[in-house]
């Protein structure tokens, strides 16, 4: 199992990068520094965007589990 974990981590990392890049960016540069930005409306994720958001969280958790597993199994 320990020799398969690096490949699993690479695949999960690529999936995580792709899913993060596909998400819509709500915050502009102004709100990143504490400003209000121009839009202070609440936004609700629906449909594919909500599925993508949930999938990103699942992939991140799986990546963390695979990383800790490789740490404890000792390659």
pLDDT in tens, 38-62: 555 677 778 889 999 999 999 999 9
Contact 73, 2 (CB under 8 A): yes
Residues 5-23: tens digit of each pLDDT: 999 999 999 999 999 999 8
- Comparison of pLDDT for 71 and 58, the residue scoring more: 58
Predicted TM-score (pTM) of the model is 0.74
When pLDDT is cut at 50, 70 and 90, the band that residue 30 belongs to is: low
Higher pLDDT, 32 or 54: 54
């Amino acid at each position: 199992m320990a020799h398969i974990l690096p490949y699993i981590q690479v695949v999960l990392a690529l999936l995580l990068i792709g899913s993060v890049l596909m998400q819509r960016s709500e915050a502009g540069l102004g709100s990143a520094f504490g400003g209000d930005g121009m839009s202070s409306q609440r936004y609700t994720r629906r449909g594919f965007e909500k599925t993508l958001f949930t999938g990103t969280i699942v992939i991140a958790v799986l990546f963390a589990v695979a990383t800790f597993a490789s740490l404890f199994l000792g390659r």
